[in-house]
Structure 1
């Protein structure tokens, strides 16, 4: 037994002396932080900070947005490395990329695979998928950037949200409709879970605040599942539909409702649109009936951040897509938190979370204002929204018709708990 134990001990020493390839602490004392350079490092003398990515990359309803989101984040951090890195470290967001297929179960599985190998998560896509692991993230102090806008994130210290949450975006959409098309009735048509539920809660609050009739229709993802929602729209003829679904479902709902005589106004929350819809059979209906709300200005906008994004992506990306814009914008707060943690000489999970909680503003290079993670949800929430309309001539096939604004409903809303729970 003693001889066996001695052999085992020697084996452990031999393994620990070998070069690391697992993104472990590498002698730094923090998961995902190594003294060794990143694979394909820009700065060979820097150590490496590994960040994970969990996105909808193959079969889920948001893959057309998720793939460019992931590419933009890769290029964002490449730019950071080209500028010297952060605190003597390059950032790697390519080694631990996983596909969640927009499934909470798959998301949980791949999160568990990588969580011990990364310092933080550069992208966790989806509200219901991220909600499936938020308890573990909180327990283990895993800071993450969400690719979603549920108002739940305004109450989570480990989440670095950017832009107005779905409910505030929907409040602004209703207020804009009141200003322009003057609806008397509002219907929320939405996916289940935090994504659709949060947007519907904002639409309901805005409708009731403005003494408009409100109705609610929950619809599951999948083009074949939209019959009930279409029937409700055609039968009840709401003046305004706040739509919160995937892009292909949007085409089915808007196109079929129009074909059956609906003449009201749709306003879709951010993820409902994809530029490919302009070439779909639903394009005439979308051009006639659909507006798009969003948390920030689109790909072609003239700000230093938008220009840096376009320069970093180059010309080989195909058609412009606001998935790129979202991925780029979402990366700024994590960069700010890592920079603060490095300055504090505490690149650990404790140190990174402490840095997050100290941020009162983030430099988005003109793409957005906000980034107050030190205050409460009401003071920290971003409340601005833009509105666009389908347009063949626009690079992302959406032309902005109302630049960043905050409507009176959202301006006065106290975010005391997540909207879908309020």
Structure 2
């Protein structure tokens, strides 16, 4: 389906610009390969909603180079084969991709994206994506979020040299494996003992893993799994009395869990690390976005993924605007504009985004968040955006 929103004022001439694939005299078409019906369905839907809210705002202000932005949204169901087919059908008609959900999906289409110079914003924070000049990675990578969250515990006096920390991570190397790098770095630098446990993405029983970590005397546990797995693991820990902080990577949290039987355990034990502000943040930009969301999606389910989708829109929109200013809306022109941008202001929803080098994360700062069922989106800020000394050491 194509979502076209509020065209620029009729009769406004398009500024002169070189154009190519996905750009006409009246529109700029961007693709979205999301998971709307698979394991990340709630996340994918919320990211699309955030994307759309930014496109609404952009088009209401006149669009880019006098052109409205259109989104071609396709549901992959988190099925790699289906996603690849959708990509090859979509690629000849779009300028770039505003969203791609799934590391395996991203890796399968990357060779063609490089050949065709398609710029994409993956819904992923893997450091493995860094170095690809066509990947718009918005925010801190998984490993940096993990480092910043452990730093928070150290600053709170909850971790000390010699302590045992755990990390339960799924077998996706670009998600769980990348997050594990953060725990390994923290353990090495702070003299902690790390007990890492890899689990299959299909695992549904965490009794043995939680028992191992309790027996090892873990003082804190990072967990980088799918939301359903996170819920089971935290619930299991609470049931056997393992009452230690669980540091949840942001894809592993779904606010709907707070209405489930394990909701109280999440409130007590869980901290979520994210480079993007939560939906219910007491920040002007977040409050403005929440108002727009409720107006457009009155039956929607607020989550931090909405804010992430909106921030991706801000970043991609800034790239398109710079390409317009330089008179080149071709794929090479947009890619050039991408790497000329520094300090993209998101209104405090993230740290300013630095896109000038694809070898480094666009942000290094993270919020630390605590679940709260009374807050829209289910998360409160307990520690504002910070870049730890450990992150600075890791980045160099």
Structure 2: distance between partners of 1:317 and 1:69: 16
TM-score (normalised: structure 1): 0.83
Are residues 1:323 and 2:305 paired? yes
Q: Verify: 1:229 aligned to 2:219, yes or no.
A: no
Question: Helix, strand or coil for the counterpart of 1:200?
Answer: helix
Q: Which runs of 5+ in 2 are unaligned?
A: 1-17
Partner-residue secondary structure (3-state), 2:98 = strand
Is residue 128–residue 195 contact of structure 1 (8 Å, CA) maintained in 2? Answer: no
Give the counterpart of 2:329 among 347, 350, 354.
347
2:259 corresponding residue in structure 1: 279
Partner Cα distance (1:403, 1:68) in 2: 23
Aligned to 2:182: 202
Mapping of residues 100-111 of structure 1, within 5 Å? 100-111=76-87
Q: CA shift at 1:287, angstroms? A: 2.1
Helix, strand or coil at the partner of 1:102: coil
Alignment partners' CA distance in 2, 1:354 and 1:261 = 54
Q: Helix, strand or coil for the counterpart of 2:384?
A: strand
8 Å CA contact retained: 1:223, 1:248: no
Give the direction of change, closer, same or farther, for the CA distance of 1:101–1:226 in structure 2 (3 Å limit). farther
Other-structure match for 1:64? 42
Task: Indicate which of 84, 97, 106 corresponds to 2:62.
Answer: 84
Aligned residue pairs: how many?
Answer: 373
2:338 aligned with 1:359: no
The Cα shift of 1:88 comes to 1.6
Contact 1:154 1:381 in 2 (8 A): no
Structure 1 residue 300 displacement after superposition: 2.3
Deviations 1:340-378 (A, max 9, x none): 111222111111111111112212123222322223634
Aligned CA distance change for structure 1 residues 371 and 63 (closer, same or farther; 3 Å): same
CA deviation string 1:111-147 (max 9, x = no partner): 1221111001011123332122222212211001121
Closer, same or farther: CA 168–349 of 1 in aligned 2, 3 Å: same
| Cα distance in 2 between the residues matched to 1:235 and 1:102 | 36
TM score, norm. by length of structure 2: 0.88
Q: Contact conserved, 1:237 with 1:262, CA < 8 A, in 2?
A: no
Extract structure 1 runs of 4+ deviating beyond 6 A.
Answer: none
**CA 1:81/1:230 → structure 2, altered by over 3 Å: closer, same or farther?**
same
Name 2:381's counterpart in structure 1: 400
Equivalence for 1:164: 140
Following superposition, the deviation at residue 29 of structure 1 comes to: 5.5
In structure 2, distance between residues paired with 1:247 and 1:376: 29
Whole-Å separation in 1 of the counterparts to 2:191 and 2:19: 57
Separation in structure 2 between the aligned mates of residue 126 and residue 149 of structure 1, nearest angstrom: 11
Query: Could you list the per-position Cα deviations for residues 40-66 of structure 1 after superposition, in whole angstroms to 9, with x for gaps in the alignment?
Result: xxxxxxx01110001110022x21111
2:3 alignment counterpart: none
Q: Which has the higher contact order (CA 8 A, sep 6+)?
A: 2
- Alpha-carbon distance between aligned partners in 2 of 1:261 and 1:305, rounded to the nearest angstrom: 40
CA distance in 2 between partners of 1:396 and 1:146 (Å): 22
Distance 1:87 1:376, change over 3 A: closer
Within a 5 Å distance, the mapping from 1:17-416 to structure 2 comes to 30-35=20-25, 47-60=26-39, 62-93=40-71, 96-180=72-156, 181-182=158-159, 184-192=163-171, 193-222=173-202, 224=204, 226-315=206-295, 316-375=298-357, 377-378=359-360, 381-414=362-395
Alpha-carbon distance change, 319 to 105 in structure 1, aligned in 2, over 3 angstroms: closer
For the 8 Å contact 1:76–1:309, the answer to whether it is kept is no
Where 2:385 maps in the other structure, the secondary structure is: strand
User: Partner of 1:17 in structure 2?
Assistant: none
Q: Which entry has the higher C-alpha Rg, 1 or 2?
A: 1
Q: Quick one: distance in 2 between partners of 1:234 and 1:117?
A: 53
Q: Deviations over 1:261-299 (max 9, x none)?
A: 322221101111111111111122222221111112211
Give the superposition deviation at 1:319: 4.0
CA–CA separation in structure 2 for the residues paired with 1:82 and 1:311: 16
Contact 2:164–2:216 (8 Å) recurs in 1 = no
User: Over aligned residue pairs, what C-alpha RMSD do you find?
Assistant: 1.9
C-alpha distance in 1, partners of 2:373/2:217? 28
Where 2:52 maps in the other structure, the secondary structure is helix
